[in-house]
Amino acid sequence: MKKLIIAAAIAALTAGTALAETIKVGVTPGEHAQIMEKVKEVAAPKGLDIEILEFSDYVVPNQALADGDLNANSFQHQPYLDNQIADRGFEIVSVGTTITTPMGVYSQKVKS
């Protein structure tokens, strides 16, 4: 499974950027950054230099990608991307999938 994720990430990163010297990828801290570190290791012997940039705000990586400051990002699910494109008019597209980390919803209300 891990090899499949890494292979998919490399394929996604190299699509349309084969001539780039350095591929700049935006990620969020945690699992996405850890996966991309492994992708970077696997890609290096193939002549691909991946620069990983971590963002703690979910909107910023899409804006950076739309502005051309990144070649790719890896942190979101398709519904979030679709909403960002609709809300902000980004001209970016999905080229592959990544993991989705479970998130919890919390409240101060005590359950009775």
Q: Write the DSSP symbol of residue 112.
A: -
* Distance (Å, whole) CA 67 – CA 92: 10
Would you place residue 16 in the very low, low, confident or very high pLDDT band (cuts 50, 70, 90)? low
Q: Which CATH number fits domain 2-88: 3.40.50.11540, 3.40.50.300, 3.30.450.40, 3.40.190.10?
A: 3.40.190.10
Does the pLDDT of residue 1 top 80, yes or no?
no
Would you place residue 101 in the very low, low, confident or very high pLDDT band (cuts 50, 70, 90)? confident
| Helices of type H across the chain | 2-14, 31-43, 59-67, 78-88
Percent of the chain residues past pLDDT 90, beyond the cut: 62
* Every domain of the chain and the residues it spans: 2-88
Mean pLDDT of all residues in 9-28: 71
